[in-house]
Amino acid sequence: MQRDEFDRILQMGLGRALLFLEEHDAEPYKDLILAHCLLNTTYDPQSEGNKTGYLFEIIQLTQDQAFYRDAILAAMKALPAPPEDDFDELDWDASQLFEFGVLFAQQGDEAFRQATYDLLRLM
């Protein structure tokens, strides 16, 4: 599959990406998958939510889950504190990272559990 097509189906959240990765190596698409994990690329997050669960499944189909785990954790830890007068505003990217934190923590990842608690304290 061409990279631009894979990027498009990730953007749309189509199950074709999951089916494709069940039979093909994810390595050529590693940077695309990571970009979608670190930035909420949902067209309209307010009405659609985000694709964290979908992307978590994508990660599980790769042969390099540790790569994505480490990059997502680093991005989560690097989130700046919201401005004093704007604690109600958590941007869509941070929201997606937070949901990744919850998913990894539910799988027993203590580093994500702590990062999730730390992010909650910032808010």
Q: Cite the beta strand spans of 1-123 per DSSP E.
A: none
How many CB atoms sit inside 10 A of residue 34's CB?
Answer: 17
Give the pTM.
Answer: 0.88
Report residues of the chain scoring pLDDT below 50.
87
In 3D space, the residue among 102, 25, 74, 79 whose CA is nearest the CA of residue 33 turns out to be 25
Long-range CB contacts for residues 28-33, cutoff 8 Å, separation at least 24: 28/3, 29/3, 30/62, 30/64, 30/67, 32/3, 32/6, 32/7, 33/58, 33/59, 33/62, 33/68
Q: How far is CA 101 from the centre of its chain?
A: 9
How far, in Å, CA of 49 to CA of 101, rounded? 16
- 93-108 per-position pLDDT tens digit: 888 999 999 999 999 9
With DSSP H G I counted as helix, E B as strand and the rest as coil, what are the percentages for the chain, rounded to 5? Answer: 70, 0, 30
Spans of all domains in the chain: 3-122
Q: 78 CB contacts (<8 Å, ≥6 apart)? A: none
- 80-92 per-position pLDDT tens digit: 876 665 545 568 8
Q: Residue 30: its pLDDT value, please?
A: 97
Q: Cite the beta strand spans of 1-122 per DSSP E.
A: none
